[in-house]
Structure 1
Amino acid sequence: MQLENYGNFPQTIPLVIEDEIFLYPFMITPLFLENKENIEAVENAIEFNRLVMIAVSKSGKEGSRDKDSFYDVGVVGNVMRKITLPDGKVKVLFQGVSKAKIIDFVPSSNIFATVDILAEETKNDIELKSLINILIDNIKKLSRLNNKFPADLIKAIEENDMPSRVADLVSSVLKIKKDEAYKIFSNTNLEQRVIGIIEIVKNEIESYKIQKEITQKVNSKIEKSHKDYFLKEQIKAIQKELGADNQKEEEIKLFKKRLKAKKCFMGQEAYKETKRQVEKLSRMNPDSPDASLLQTYVEMVLDIPFGEFANVKFSVSSVEKQLNKDHYSLEKAKERIAEYFAVKQLLEQRNIEDLKSKGTVLCFVGPPGVGKTSLANSIAKALARPLVRVALGGMEDVNELRGHRRTYVGAMPGRLIKGLIDAKKMNPVIVLDEIDKLGSNHRGDPSAVMLEILDPEQNHEFRDLYLNFPVDLSQVIFVSTANDIRKIPAPLKDRMEFIELNSYTPNEKYHIAKDYLIPQELEKHGLKKDEVSISKATIELIISKYTREAGVRNLRRVFSKLFRKVVKKILENETITKVTIGIKDLKEYLDNPIFEIEPADKIDVVGVSNGLAWTAVGGDILKIEAIKLKGKGDLKVTGNLGDVMKESSTISYSVVKYLIDNKILKIDEKDIPKTFKEKDEKELVDCSEIYKRYDIHLHIPEGATPKDGPSAGITMALALASVLSNRKIKSDIAMTGELTLSGKVLPIGGLKEKLIAAYKAKIKKVLIPKKNYERDLEEIPQEVKNSLEIKFVEKIEDVLKEALI
């Protein structure tokens, strides 16, 4: 076909925009058209026997006929045939004639463009011929790597003597991007166009070489894996023939099944680590020593109850009901616990996720037997959650909490992870018992690990060394207990809120015994309520004479001892249907009484004062004795005293001396030698002679019991003032308070225990610091306040005025 038959160029002809590939002049190509404008352009070319221009749309702009949406270089040719397909598309057989460039295109004209023929030029025929030979050599290399250039195509390229046709033929076979194809297609310099095609062919050669190498490596690995698979299958078959069991295979399948079930509940790090260990175990020989260790690890991890929670929702009313059911008194402690769970319930109702697991860790502080651990038990019951108890007393090895690394022989996870496994839930109540008795040595400091465990900001990613991945402890409710808050490290105190559980009064102990201890012990010993009768007076006598404690633990033991003897008595004599235990019968069932606190002396004496002391098992009466001996004014202090109490005795002695020197404390002049003035020979009395000529011996009895603290200051000062002034001290008065060098009385701690001790010792009047009187009396049981006359003192003079006769 000749261009001359269609007139001179440039000329305006119909425009078809193709979305897929560039067409070349020598090609006869079928085109499938569905665009309305393209179909109209073809129909116009056929109707008026015109040429048609085929342009290519740019990437991302297919279907558009805007001026910038297609390339300005394409192919001019004629439509050989047109067929309308059933689906509305049009199939066209197009024959390319020559490359052309769009000079002008107006979108409003819709289907026409003004085009001109694109002529190619060459400067050096020899160089062009050499480039064509290089191109043919590279095409042959590429054909050996893939089948893109078959032998007949290579032969056609070699026999073609038109360099332009060779370049177009190779370009049509190569799969290159539109922008790169346009760059080559539109280049009118033939040498540059051939060089560009050579570069593309070389890049494809290198790419296919790399692909071939990768394919060979992959195939070799696949062959090896197939080989390994067949060998393993043969080994299994041989083992089956030999009678060997397939227990390991079944276990591995079970591990994988359990791991898959827990995948969505475990953290990503936990899942990856466990999966890696399961796969490692599957490759191990069952007889290998490491196999059993690894299997123990996998079993331990899969036993952790990921995703299993107990009764996530709870109510404050159920907690309060359970606490009141299990405990008598302890009103402040029960109120604080209810407030704690009220906050959690509100966060749960309002679905405030960030704060649900955050909150203060409660720590119950008090003497043994007052109900610290049993309060935690009640919390667990009320929440319907399992209870885990972790005894921290004497723990020195940090790995007990953190877990051991698996490199050590006998490695195991820490107690917290074991607790979760035993509880079978991820949100149990964990009681950290005796947190004040944590130890530390060269193996670490467990209290440092407790900082992470009890910190809501950190415990959601607690890392156990044995597991080697983090575990979320944020849903666990931690409750700790302690006897002495002073022994807890300061950073650990900051993580907890302390609820003090003080000593029980005799009346509280009676109700606890009647309503809780006796029914529980009867049930434990297989006795019925109507088989044993204990009078109120008997219970009160047991409380006052047979126990010495702040709580009720020993009281429970006494009832247990009673009921064991009752059981034996019933079995020995079948005619007995009921056993009555009165005051007179106690000698038969129990040993000699153990007096808890001796009643106060009824005789007023010189130099003996009653102090009130706090101990780990409750309050106590501390008698302080003082005598004066002829000497040089020295002070001797005996008793098992700590440094603070020794310093307090020195301060008390100095205060008393000051009172004497300033004649605030009157001295019996009979004990003071007279002196005479030189001029008028008048008798003078020097009060300081009383402590200059006498040594004072201050003694605190019960030397086997260690005693320390400043709260006996006014008691020691009173004893010293009494012995130096020779004035008696009221026997029915007791006191507590720290004394300063200026004679002021400072507040003390443990007031409730001290006043209960005074109440038990039948003291009538108690002297306490003013600040304690103003802030702490609300906590004192009403029966104690009704039985005692409680007065406050501000200075040592107030003490002397109230106590000395």
Structure 2
Amino acid sequence: MNLSNYGEFPADIPVIAEDELFLYPFMISPLFLSDENNIEAATKAIEESSLVIVCSTKPGHDGERKHDSLYEAGVIGSIMRKVSLPDGRVKVLFQGLARAKTIYEVSSKPHIAHVNVLEPINNDSPKLDAFLEIVREKVRILSGVSNYFPPDLLRTIEENHDHNRIIDLICSSVKLKKEQAYKIFVEVDTEKRYMHLVDYLIEEIEANKLQKEIKSKVHTKIEKVNKEYFLKEQLKQIQKELGTDTQREEEIEEYRNKLEAKKSKMDQDAYKEIKKQIDRFSRMHPDSSDASMTQTYLEWVLEIPFGEEAKKALKVHDVSEQLNKDHFSLKKPKERIVEYFAVKELMELRGIKNDSDAGAILCFSGPPGVGKTSLANSIAEALKRPLVRIALGGLEDVNELRGHRRTYVGAMPGRITQGLIDAKKMNPVIVLDEIDKVSRSLRGDPTAALLEILDPEQNKEFRDYYLNFNIDLRKVIFIATANDVGSIPAPLRDRMEFITISSYTPQEKFEIASRYLIPQELKKHGLKKSELSISKPALKELIHSYTREAGVRNLRRRLAEMSRKVAREILEKPELKKVSLSVKNLKDYFEKTVFEIEKTTKKPVVGVVNGLAWTAVGGDVLKIESIRIKGKGGLTLTGSLGDVMKESARIAFSVVKTLIDTNKLKIESSNVPKTFKEQEDKVKVPASEVYKRYDLHVHVPDGATPKDGPSAGIAMCSVIASILSSKKIRSEIAMTGEVSLTGDVLPIGGLKEKLIAAHKANMSKVLIPAKNYERDLEDIPKEVRDSLDIISVSRIEEVLEEVLV
């Protein structure tokens, strides 16, 4: 089809805007039209059997088909077919005939422009032929490094001699940007068109060569990786069949490297043992159980931080500051801890090495909740050392400490070694919690293993059975905690220095709650300080009536309970800005009171005495009661008494008998029963034999609670003397002390807790052994000393003189 079949140009013809394609005169292409102007232009061309010009849109146009958004040059051609599609678009088959250029716009709807054909300028035929050969050569080169030209197109380029047609064919096959394509398309000078095309072809050849080279390298690398993977998988299968494994060899090499890296920091014995196990592991079959156990061993031992230590210099000032920051009161324990670290700092400053004292052991002893473990936490924080806590409560297997021998699956290092691994340092602070609750069993005695761990003379060569070599524990700071020192075996007690942390007084509890517990619990429960206020009387009442303990753990629980209820109240009542607690509304936040210690009465009573006792939760006032029953001088004891307390009662009975026989405890005739006086008149039986006519029953109330200890002697004497002589006992007096058969008052322990209990019970006078008065009175809090009249006694006669009315 020729252009001459359609009238002369310039002419007014419809314009179709094309976004995607850049068309050339020789092309027959389907066009999909969705724009109304394009559809109207195609319809007009078909109805009038006229030509149309297809112009490409310029890059970056805003989507509107205006005249200035189109390139001026395009392809004139005819629409061979038109089909309406279901989605509203129109498909036309367009045949390009010639290049043309729009001169001006005639109409915008439909889009019609005045168009003229672009006539090519062919100046010098030999020169154009030379250009054609150059272009053909470049096309052949480009076809070798790209897939732009199919064989049919190459043949057409080689056989055709129409310069502009060849240029259009090449431009339609390569990837030209719209600007480049339009620049070559609109040019009428064939020589310039060739020059533009040659420049582009040279650039495209270089780009494709580089791209092909990169692709080749990547492909080669991928092939190499795939090949290596394939060969490795094959090798694995072969090695699996033969019982060998390259991965295992890599692991063994890794173990050797780790060992060599730590060689300079470990003992020669440890190095030899680990190296021996690595060599042994390399010879084992990988599927054997021994190989699995040995590999587990190597992974454990190579995690031990040989030579790694916390680098912070020891400063006693930091320790003192941290202790004062975290704890209220505890003056004596704090002083002893600071002294301990002062000695270590002085020795470090002067370069003195004293291995025998490098690992001296401190043991904090006292009732639960008084801050034993938190003191250890403060020490670790001050020294910037990792803290390892080992709970010994109920421990009965010695292997838990020494490690299990590697004779069975599941063997593990001991807790000490595991603690060092977890701390990643060889000088951590290790807390041995509840050291008094270690148990003996058929699996050994863990306290015997603790002897080596805690003895500064032995722990420099502590041997873990699992490791099978020695570990130096001298740089570890061991801190033990215990509730009852008496239950610790004597050899183990000898290795430790005990720092007793006694019960807190009510005033100390008040200060601790105000300074630490209340702010901490408010923060834990998302409350602000401004949202809760608790009055001083309310806090004192909470401490006195709602808690029963030596420490502050239950007090913290009570404050947490209060905080939860306050949080709920604030959520349920948005208008509530602040909750105030006073003595009046305290019951609204706490369910029931716990009567800690019964208050004393001032009325003297026969056969009831106030004894002072030490318990695991602090001191207590223990009332001891006695009655007499007609009998033959027997003694009955009830109240879940231990053997020691039963012996104290029997000794007290004998002492009182002696006092009656020697007339040191007088029984007046008015106090002697009538039947006894009648017998005396007839038989002349002395009044001192009153204890032969009665059986005594001594009872310590709260019978379900076991009671034992060597400090109830003088209380037992007092209550027996009272019931036999019918003399009343002053109820505002409390006492503690053991008594000997000769009547001497012997010293006791736990004096601080006992006197705090007497203070809480509003006692006015307390009798204590003279030796305790001389030795322990300075440890008693001042507020307790000021509230009590503390009297020292050395003989039972002095006791009876004070208590009997």
Give your verdict on TM over 0.5: yes
* In the alignment, structure 1 residue 525 sits paired with structure 2 residue 528: no
Aligned residues of 1:436 and 1:483 also touching (Cα < 8 A): yes
User: Greater CA deviation, 477-486 or 253-262?
Assistant: 253-262
Aligned to 2:503: 503
Aligned to 1:338: 338
Aligned residues: 569
Alignment partners' CA distance in 2, 1:759 and 1:354: 46
Q: CA 1:650–1:349 in 2, change beyond 3 Å: closer, same or farther? A: same
Q: SS state of the match for residue 430, structure 2?
A: strand
* In the alignment, structure 1 residue 325 sits paired with structure 2 residue 325: yes
Q: CA 1:240–1:545 in 2, change beyond 3 Å: closer, same or farther? A: same
Aligned to 1:476: 476
Aligned to 1:492: 492
Alignment partners' CA distance in 1, 2:259 and 2:708: 58
Aligned to 1:579: 579
Alignment partners' CA distance in 1, 2:237 and 2:778: 84
Aligned to 1:547: 547
Aligned residues of 2:766 and 2:789 also touching (Cα < 8 A): yes
Alignment partners' CA distance in 1, 2:682 and 2:398: 78
Deviation, 1:675, is 6.2
Aligned to 2:144: none
* In the alignment, structure 1 residue 239 sits paired with structure 2 residue 232: no
Aligned to 1:255: 255
Structure 2 counterparts to residues 80-99 of structure 1, below 5 A: none
Q: CA 1:595–1:277 in 2, change beyond 3 Å: closer, same or farther? A: same
| Offset from partner CA, 1:83-136 (integer Å, 9 cap, x none) | xxxxxxxxxxxxxxxxxxxxxxxxxxxxxxxxxxxxxxxxxxxxxxxxxxxxxx
Aligned to 1:49: none
Aligned to 2:701: 701
Alignment partners' CA distance in 2, 1:657 and 1:492: 42
Q: Which letter maps to 1:239? A: L
Structure 2 counterparts to residues 644-723 of structure 1, below 5 A: 644-670=644-670, 671-672=672-673, 673-674=676-677, 686-723=686-723
* In the alignment, structure 1 residue 597 sits paired with structure 2 residue 597: yes
Q: CA 1:676–1:260 in 2, change beyond 3 Å: closer, same or farther? A: closer
Q: CA 1:782–1:272 in 2, change beyond 3 Å: closer, same or farther? A: same
Aligned residues of 1:675 and 1:684 also touching (Cα < 8 A): no
Q: Which letter maps to 1:647? A: E
Deviation, 1:350, is 1.3
Q: CA 1:357–1:664 in 2, change beyond 3 Å: closer, same or farther? A: closer
Q: SS state of the match for residue 687, structure 2?
A: coil
Alignment partners' CA distance in 1, 2:697 and 2:289: 72
| Offset from partner CA, 1:586-611 (integer Å, 9 cap, x none) | 22211110011111133221111111
Aligned residues of 2:359 and 2:475 also touching (Cα < 8 A): no
Q: Which letter maps to 1:448? A: A
Deviation, 1:640, is 0.8
Aligned residues of 1:531 and 1:579 also touching (Cα < 8 A): yes
Aligned residues of 2:355 and 2:474 also touching (Cα < 8 A): no
Runs of 5+ consecutive residues of structure 2 not aligned to the other structure? 1-229
Q: CA 1:259–1:691 in 2, change beyond 3 Å: closer, same or farther? A: same
Q: CA 1:235–1:468 in 2, change beyond 3 Å: closer, same or farther? A: farther
Aligned to 1:633: 633
Q: SS state of the match for residue 593, structure 2?
A: coil
Alignment partners' CA distance in 2, 1:424 and 1:359: 19
Alignment partners' CA distance in 2, 1:357 and 1:739: 40
Deviation, 1:241, is 9.1
Q: SS state of the match for residue 460, structure 2?
A: helix
Aligned to 1:458: 458
Aligned residues of 2:312 and 2:384 also touching (Cα < 8 A): no
Deviation, 1:622, is 0.8
Aligned residues of 2:604 and 2:730 also touching (Cα < 8 A): yes
Aligned to 2:296: 296
Alignment partners' CA distance in 1, 2:250 and 2:272: 21
Deviation, 1:761, is 0.5
Q: SS state of the match for residue 264, structure 1?
A: helix
Alignment partners' CA distance in 2, 1:269 and 1:682: 93
Alignment partners' CA distance in 1, 2:251 and 2:682: 110
Alignment partners' CA distance in 1, 2:250 and 2:682: 114
Give the RMSD, CA atoms, in angstroms.
Answer: 2.3
Alignment partners' CA distance in 2, 1:312 and 1:468: 31
* In the alignment, structure 1 residue 607 sits paired with structure 2 residue 607: yes
Q: CA 1:600–1:251 in 2, change beyond 3 Å: closer, same or farther? A: same
Aligned residues of 2:389 and 2:432 also touching (Cα < 8 A): yes
Alignment partners' CA distance in 1, 2:683 and 2:493: 64
Aligned to 1:446: 446
Structure 2 counterparts to residues 15-54 of structure 1, below 5 A: none
Aligned residues of 2:359 and 2:476 also touching (Cα < 8 A): no
Q: CA 1:530–1:777 in 2, change beyond 3 Å: closer, same or farther? A: same
Deviation, 1:290, is 3.4
Q: SS state of the match for residue 776, structure 1?
A: helix
Deviation, 1:676, is 8.9
Structure 2 counterparts to residues 302-321 of structure 1, below 5 A: 302-311=302-311, 313-321=313-321
Aligned to 2:786: 786
Aligned to 1:73: none
Alignment partners' CA distance in 2, 1:267 and 1:554: 49
User: Greater CA deviation, 428-437 or 304-313?
Assistant: 304-313
Q: CA 1:715–1:481 in 2, change beyond 3 Å: closer, same or farther? A: same
Q: Which letter maps to 2:623? A: K
Aligned residues of 2:635 and 2:696 also touching (Cα < 8 A): yes
Q: Which letter maps to 1:300? A: W
Q: SS state of the match for residue 430, structure 1?
A: strand
Aligned residues of 1:718 and 1:800 also touching (Cα < 8 A): yes
Aligned residues of 2:759 and 2:787 also touching (Cα < 8 A): yes
Deviation, 1:663, is 2.2
* In the alignment, structure 1 residue 369 sits paired with structure 2 residue 369: yes
Q: Which letter maps to 2:710? A: P
Q: Which letter maps to 2:516? A: Y
Aligned residues of 1:348 and 1:356 also touching (Cα < 8 A): no
Q: Which letter maps to 2:600? A: A
Alignment partners' CA distance in 1, 2:504 and 2:647: 32
Deviation, 1:682, is 11
Aligned residues of 1:394 and 1:437 also touching (Cα < 8 A): yes
Alignment partners' CA distance in 2, 1:716 and 1:243: 85
Aligned to 1:771: 771
Structure 2 counterparts to residues 725-804 of structure 1, below 5 A: 725-804=725-804
Q: Give the 4+ runs in structure 1 shifted more than 6 A.
A: 234-237, 240-245, 681-685
Aligned residues of 2:663 and 2:688 also touching (Cα < 8 A): no
Q: Which letter maps to 2:473? A: L
Q: CA 1:310–1:668 in 2, change beyond 3 Å: closer, same or farther? A: same
Structure 2 counterparts to residues 353-368 of structure 1, below 5 A: 353-355=353-355, 358-368=358-368
Aligned residues of 1:674 and 1:686 also touching (Cα < 8 A): no
Q: Which letter maps to 2:607? A: G
Q: CA 1:786–1:241 in 2, change beyond 3 Å: closer, same or farther? A: closer
Q: Which letter maps to 2:510? A: Y
Runs of 5+ consecutive residues of structure 1 not aligned to the other structure? 1-233
| Offset from partner CA, 1:166-205 (integer Å, 9 cap, x none) | xxxxxxxxxxxxxxxxxxxxxxxxxxxxxxxxxxxxxxxx
Alignment partners' CA distance in 2, 1:445 and 1:235: 57
Aligned residues of 2:667 and 2:688 also touching (Cα < 8 A): no
Q: SS state of the match for residue 640, structure 1?
A: coil
